[in-house]
């Protein structure tokens, strides 16, 4: 109300109108929303962007910038952004942009390789890359450390994607015909494969990594032995010929078999990455554990043709070692060439005998002195080494340790290293010696004299025979002729048509008739005995017997 | 020279009319030939500027995100607008690549830049430097901006290829669609009103 109006009637005043300096229309929401969408897209893109890594390959074959994908289980986890030649021009560096979820692929032991169509011993792989182009395969690692630089593999790793199973490390002297992908057999069933191989750091041995798929990995136990089944195992040894194969594929690409010895009490499944020895063949693999080796030396005074390094050493027929060296020596005092044979024996291979012996003799296997003492006792009891012929066909020799209680006593040098075990000549050697003695005896016989005497006797005999021939035999011939004549005349006398024979026949007839008339007479007389006195009555025919 | 600012000429038959104030949903028609002389302009300067900025943002999307991606049995390819121009330039008709680049990338960009430039000053009721040149260029560029043609082409490609390959429309295609609609709206003939509103 304004009291100072002249009329005294109040009138409404004019409110001050103030224009807003900048009137902002609601339409600006539209560009703001557009910008927000844009920002969200960019942020989303940045958030979804995984790490960028560099992988070095030998060649850039099949790699294309912005096109080649990186795949894991056939899902794209990244893309190659650039492919550059390295500075030294020896390799190709592919820069890969991974997606966010692929963080695990930056672990240091992640693997990258170019997946191409491949034809190998284990089959054909990567056919689909013929159509889609090569891609980079990836396998996430387990390591804690991360890395930005990787070295690409030339061939895809045989085991990928965290397959269930276990890896084991095998150590061997040489690779043989094994390779990556060679199968691993358990009771002739393929259960795994060789994953990688390489020399050990010192270069003296080969290290193989094998993968056994679950659930068969449980059969790899602490006591399991691995052996090589590559190719054909043909053995010609002291124990004869031996041929063994695992499967056709193992013959071609090599293979490994494993098995625990039949008697393995309290066996546990082996841990991942456990180290095993890879044996050359099944026989050595399944042999009892060798235990501590003992080197011994043997001195033989005879030739050992047929004994080879690696020949078995037997104790009472049980194989428990092998020959490791054969050297010729010169004995200064006797001026002969003895053969020094080095052998390695594994007492533990004797099994129960060894454990019992240790217990009874209270012997510590690590104490060398006591071991020597034990050998000393054995030698005193007649322990001798002998090179025996194991196979007459191949002439191979082996070393046999045996007790010969009748053997000559030999002084045992307990201080000598390596320990020496006295020897006795080999069985074949003994046989040879006996044969030689026989030959010598035969040689000693006066064969010349005997022969001369015999010769003379033969001459005498010849003379005698000549006499018989010239003088005695003609007489005999005359006699024989006379005899022939006599026989001839006898013959003619007895012939059918000879007169003598006729006469005899007639005589016989006469005799016949005479005997008949005599019978008639006697008949008549028996009926008419009175006729002897009275003569023949009248009317009585001589023929009628009627009274 | 007489004041002709309040007059308007029919584009088709050259009849001269007085300008009229139009309300919503109204349009002025030529009495002789029936062509549209004027439409109601629903956009004030501020709205037009806002939409121009929006269009600029979508121009960026349309050019930096793939318009579409195709894949066939593991073969995968995606292309932005610029990729398509490059693809044309390597072919036997390099000249067409230039035309394509002008009509789908450069012309819309120039339109947007000029619009934003002019409208920014118009918001403060001022004529921008080189206002006349800018306005003339906006008029010149309009027939060269063929985003809608490009959009239609892309759509046809998407539908035709869909039977043969796996085709995925990208963010770029959506941005392109929005951009082409926005450009039709903001860079239309009615920007000549600026001649009148800005003294």
Per-residue pLDDT band at A157 (split at 50, 70, 90): confident
pLDDT, averaged across chain B: 84
The residue of chain A nearest to residue B179, with distances taken between CA atoms, is A34
All residues of chain A having their beta carbon less than 8 Å from the beta carbon of residue B53 are 31, 34-35
Asked whether residue A24 is assigned to any structural domain, the reply reads no
Q: Which of B57, B65, B171 sits opposite A35 (nearest CB)?
A: B57
> In Å, how far are A23, B50, B118 from A32, measured between CA atoms?
17, 9, 20
Residue A28 to residue B50, Cβ atoms within 8 A: yes
B50 and A131 within 8 Å at the Cβ level: the answer is no
Residue A3, pLDDT above cutoff 60: no
Question: Confidence class of residue A399 from pLDDT cuts 50, 70 and 90?
Answer: confident
Cβ contact A132–B50 (<8 Å): no
The answer to the question of residue A103 being in a domain is yes
B chain contacts of residue A28, beta-carbon cutoff 8 Å: 46, 50
Closest CA relative to residue A184, chosen from A227, A233, A248, A221: A227
In angstroms, rounded to a whole number, what is the distance separating the alpha carbons of residues A313 and A307?
Answer: 11
Kindly state whether residue A360 falls inside one of the protein's structural domains: yes
**Shared-domain flag, residues A417 and A436:** no
Residue A481 in any domain: the answer is no
A317 and A374, same domain (yes or no):
yes
Q: Is B30 within 8 Å of B54 (Cβ atoms)?
A: no
Q: Which residue, of A286, A314, A336, is where some domain finishes?
A: A286
Q: Tell me the average pLDDT across A138-147.
A: 84
Q: Which residues 6+ apart lie within 8 Å of A137 measured at CB?
A: A70, A71, A72, A112, A113, A114, A115, A156, A160
Q: pLDDT tens across A204-225, in order?
A: 889 988 888 888 888 888 888 8
Buried b (16+ CB within 10 A) or exposed e, A21-42: eeeeeebbebbeebeebbeeee
Per-residue pLDDT reduced to its tens digit, A309-348 = 888 888 888 888 889 888 888 888 888 888 889 998 887 7
What pLDDT sits at residue A540?
58
How close is the nearest chain B Cα to the Cα of A152, in Å?
Answer: 22
A31 contacts B51? CB cut-off 8 A: yes
Give the closest-approach CA distance of A77 to chain B in angstroms: 14
Over residues B94-115, the pLDDT tens digits come to 888 888 888 888 999 999 999 8
A30/B54 Cβ within 8 A: yes
CB B173 within 8 A of CB B158: yes
* pLDDT given for residue A290 in this prediction: 67
Asked if residue A429 has pLDDT above 70, the reply is: no
Q: How many domains does chain A have?
A: 4
Q: Name chain A contacts of B120, Cβ cutoff 8 Å.
A: none
User: Which of B65, B74, B79 is best to mutate for the A interface (most A CBs within 10 A)?
Assistant: B74
Q: Check whether residue A342 and residue A403 sit in a common domain.
A: yes
Q: Are residues A319 and A397 in the same domain?
A: yes
Structural domain contains residue A470: no
Give tens-digit pLDDT for A350-394.
Answer: 777 777 877 777 766 667 777 788 888 888 888 888 888 877 677
Q: How many CB pairs under 8 A join A and B?
A: 47
Indicate if the alpha-carbon torsion angle A65, A67, A68, A69 is positive or negative.
positive
Q: Does ipTM come in above 0.95?
A: no
Residue A137 located in a structural domain = yes
Distance in angstroms (rounded) separating the CA atoms of residues A341 and A130: 63
Q: pLDDT class for A514, splitting at 50, 70, 90?
A: very high
User: Of all residues in chain B, what percent carry a pLDDT higher than 90?
Assistant: 5
A21: nearest CA partner in chain B: B124
Check residue A543 and give its pLDDT: 55
pLDDT, average across residues A220-246: 75
Residues A232 and A253 reside in one and the same domain: yes
- Do A442 and A411 lie in one domain? The reply is no
| A67 chain-B contacts, CB cut-off 8 A | 76-77
Nearest-by-Cβ selection for A31 from B54, B74, B77: B54
Report if residue A274 sits inside a domain: yes
A81 and A127 in a single domain? The answer is yes
pLDDT value at residue A366: 67
Per-residue pLDDT for A408 more than 70? yes
How far is B40 from B56, CA to CA, in rounded Å? 25
Which domain does A276 fall in, by range? 165-286
Residues A243 and A140 both lie in one domain: no
Total residue length of chain A: 547
Contact B171 A31 (CB under 8 A): no
Contact between B62 and B175 under an 8 Å Cβ cutoff? The reply is yes
pTM over the 0.80 mark: no
- Is A410 found in the same domain as A389? yes
Residues A396 and A443 in one domain: no
Q: How far is B74 from chain A (nearest CA, A)?
A: 5
Q: Do A132 and B74 touch (CB under 8 A)?
A: yes
Q: Kindly report which listed range (A92-106, A325-339, A417-431, A434-448) carries the lowest average pLDDT score.
A: A417-431
All residues of chain A having their beta carbon less than 8 Å from the beta carbon of residue B61 are 38, 41
Confidence grade of residue A427 (pLDDT, cut at 50, 70, 90): low
Burial grade of A56 (CB within 10 A; 0-12, 13-18, 19 or more)? middle
- pLDDT tens for B133-185 read 998 898 888 888 888 888 888 888 888 888 788 888 888 888 889 888 888 88
- Residues A79 and A100 reside in one and the same domain: yes
The confidence score (pLDDT) of residue A1 equals 45
Domain boundary among A151, A175, A190: A151
Partners of A378 in the β-ladder: none
Spatial strand order in the sheet of A419-421: A383-391, A396-403, A312-315, A318-328, A339-345, A294-300, A419-421
- The 10s digit of each residue's pLDDT in A439-480 is 888 888 888 889 999 999 999 999 999 988 888 888 888 899
- Are A321 and A303 found together in one domain? yes
Last residue of a domain, one of A286, A317, A344: A286
Asked whether residue A278 is domain-assigned, the answer is yes
């Amino acid at each position: 109300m304004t009291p100072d109006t002249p009329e005294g009637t109040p009138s409404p005043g004019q409110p001050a109108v103030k224009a807003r300096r900048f009137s902002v229309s609601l339409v600006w929401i539209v560009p703001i929303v557009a910008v927000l969408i844009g920002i969200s897209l960019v942020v989303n893109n940045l958030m979804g962007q995984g790490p960028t890594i560099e992988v070095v390959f030998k060649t850039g074959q099949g790699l294309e910038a912005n096109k080649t994908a990186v795949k894991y289980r056939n899902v794209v986890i990244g893309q190659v952004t650039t492919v550059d030649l390295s500075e030294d021009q020896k390799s190709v560096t592919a820069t890969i942009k991974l997606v966010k979820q692929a963080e695990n692929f930056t672990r240091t032991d992640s693997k990258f390789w170019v997946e191409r169509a491949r034809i190998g011993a284990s089959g054909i792989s990567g056919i689909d890359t013929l159509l889609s182009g090569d891609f980079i395969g990836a396998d996430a690692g387990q390591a804690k450390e991360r890395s930005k630089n990787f070295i690409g593999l030339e061939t895809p790793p045989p085991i990928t994607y965290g397959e269930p199973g276990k890896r084991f490390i095998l150590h061997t002297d040489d690779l043989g015909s094994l390779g990556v992908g060679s199968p691993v057999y358990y009771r002739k069933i393929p259960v795994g494969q060789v994953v990688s191989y390489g020399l050990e750091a010192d270069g003296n041995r080969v290290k193989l990594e094998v993968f056994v798929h679950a659930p068969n990995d449980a059969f790899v136990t602490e006591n399991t032995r691995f052996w090589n089944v590559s190719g054909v195992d043909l053995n010609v040894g002291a124990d004869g010929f031996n041929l063994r194969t695992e499967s056709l594929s193992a013959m071609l690409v090599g293979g490994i078999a494993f098995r625990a010895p039949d008697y393995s009490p309290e066996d546990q499944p082996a841990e991942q990455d456990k180290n095993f020895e890879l044996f050359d063949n099944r026989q050595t693999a399944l042999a009892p554990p060798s235990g501590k080796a003992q080197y011994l030396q043997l001195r033989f005074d005879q030739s050992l043709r047929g004994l080879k390094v690696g020949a078995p050493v037997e104790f009472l027929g049980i194989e428990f070692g092998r020959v490791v060296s054969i050297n010729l020596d010169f004995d200064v005092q006797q001026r002969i060439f003895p053969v020094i044979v080095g052998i390695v024996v594994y007492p533990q291979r004797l099994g129960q005998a060894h454990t019992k012996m240790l217990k009874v003799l209270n012997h510590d296997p690590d104490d060398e002195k006591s071991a020597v003492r034990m050998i000393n006792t054995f030698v005193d009891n007649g322990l001798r080494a002998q090179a025996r012929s194991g196979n007459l066909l191949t002439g191979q020799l082996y070393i046999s340790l045996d007790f010969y209680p009748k053997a000559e006593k030999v002084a045992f040098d307990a201080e000598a290293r390596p320990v020496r075990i006295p020897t006795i000549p080999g069985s074949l050697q003994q046989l040879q010696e006996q044969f030689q003695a026989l030959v010598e005896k035969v040689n000693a016989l006066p064969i010349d004299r005997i022969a001369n005497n015999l010769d003379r006797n033969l001459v005498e005999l010849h003379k005698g025979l000549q006499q018989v021939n010239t003088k005695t035999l003609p007489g005999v011939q005359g006699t024989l002729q006379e005899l022939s004549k006599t026989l001839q005349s006898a013959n003619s006398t007895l012939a059918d048509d000879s007169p003598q024979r006729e006469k005899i026949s007639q005589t016989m007839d006469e005799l016949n008739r005479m005997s008949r008339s005599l019978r008639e007479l006697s008949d008549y007389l028996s009926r008419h005995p009175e006729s002897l006195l009275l003569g023949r009555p009248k009317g009585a025919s001589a023929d009628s017997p009627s009274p | 020279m007489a004041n002709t600012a309040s007059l308007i000429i029919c584009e088709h038959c050259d009849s001269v009319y007085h300008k009229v104030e139009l309300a919503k949903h109204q349009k002025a028609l030529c009495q002789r030939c029936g062509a549209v002389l004027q439409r109601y302009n629903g956009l004030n300067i501020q709205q037009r500027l806002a939409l121009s900025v929006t269009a600029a943002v979508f121009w960026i999307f349309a050019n930096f995100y793939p318009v579409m991606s195709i894949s066939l049995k593991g073969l995968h390819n995606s292309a932005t607008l610029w990729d398509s121009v490059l693809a044309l330039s390597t072919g036997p008709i390099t000249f067409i690549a230039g035309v394509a680049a002008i009509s789908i990338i450069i012309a819309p960009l120039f339109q947007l830049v000029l619009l934003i430039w002019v409208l920014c000053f118009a918001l403060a009721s001022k004529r921008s430097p080189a206002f006349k040149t800018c306005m003339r260029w906006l008029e010149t560029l309009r027939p060269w901006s063929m985003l809608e043609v490009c959009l239609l082409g892309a759509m046809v490609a998407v539908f035709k290829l869909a039977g043969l390959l796996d085709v995925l429309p990208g963010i770029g295609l959506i941005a392109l669609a929005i951009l082409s609609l926005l450009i039709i709206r903001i860079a239309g003939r009615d920007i000549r009103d600026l001649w009148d509103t800005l003294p």
